Chains A and B, each alone.
Chain A
Amino acid sequence: QKEVEQNSGPLSVPEGAIASLNCTYSDRGSQSFFWYRQYSGKSPELIMSIYSNGDKEDGRFTAQLNKASQYVSLLIRDSQPSDSATYLCAAGAGGGGNKLTFGTGTQLKVEL
């Protein structure tokens, strides 16, 4: 069974701090990785995608991928209360096709 593991949290950080969200995956064949943000009662929205080892930055967000360790992370700099949400990590199916395997999500709370 292909799995994506995340700590469910909640992860609490003060406003302005860096929030670090982590994810591990079991399918060594996965080539694509995504971070989604989901507010309570809403559907997920795509924040970042990453395909190569290393860091990818987009505004306050940085995604990090280490395929050798099967590890993906998301850093949120200068965290804002509006960043409070559940963050879902997803890995593309290594065997082909378009399916994603989602983690259970990490709840982030940014406190004033």
Chain B
Amino acid sequence: GAVVSQHPSWVICKSGTSVKIECRSLDFQATTMFWYRQFPKQSLMLMATSNEGSKATYEQGVEKDKFLINHASLTLSTLTVTSAHPEDSSFYICSGNRGQGLVSNQPQHFGDGTRLSIL
């Protein structure tokens, strides 16, 4: 159990385009979803925490107007990279977590990631 589906797997588009990435929890309700980006040979960088029905919490240095996150249901969160530029090219990965409340011991389950290339 705990399958997270992420779509699309690959995106290649022109500079200035907006790109939407979907993250779905297939067999559990993800109270919280997380969005990460990862550059080659580097570790995961948390971009934002998304809670169903409320605004996302962005990490320091992440532009909320650039990376729009919507978590409209317990099984779907979307990340939209607006007016993407070559420096936004990266591997974007979402994860879902069953936990809720102040303390959670639930692991995060990752989607397969989206490789975004901006030309």
Contacts and interface: CB of A to CB of B under 8 A. Distances in A.
**Chain A complexes with chain B:** yes
A99 B49 contact: yes
A104 B42 contact: yes
Majority secondary structure of chain A interface residues (helix, strand, loop or mixed): loop
B32 interface: yes
B43 A105 contact: yes
Interface in A92-106: 92, 96-100, 102-105
B26 to A, nearest CB: 15
Interface in A38-82: 41-46, 49, 51
Interface residues of B, number: 26
Interface of A: 31-32, 34, 36, 41-46, 49, 51, 88, 90, 92, 96-100, 102-105
Residue from B93, B99, B108 with most neighbouring chain A CB atoms (10 Å): B108
A41 B68 CA distance: 25
Interface of B: 6, 31-32, 34, 42-44, 46, 49, 91, 93, 97, 99-100, 102-113
A31 B107 CA distance: 12
Nearest to B94: A43
A90 to B, nearest CB: 8
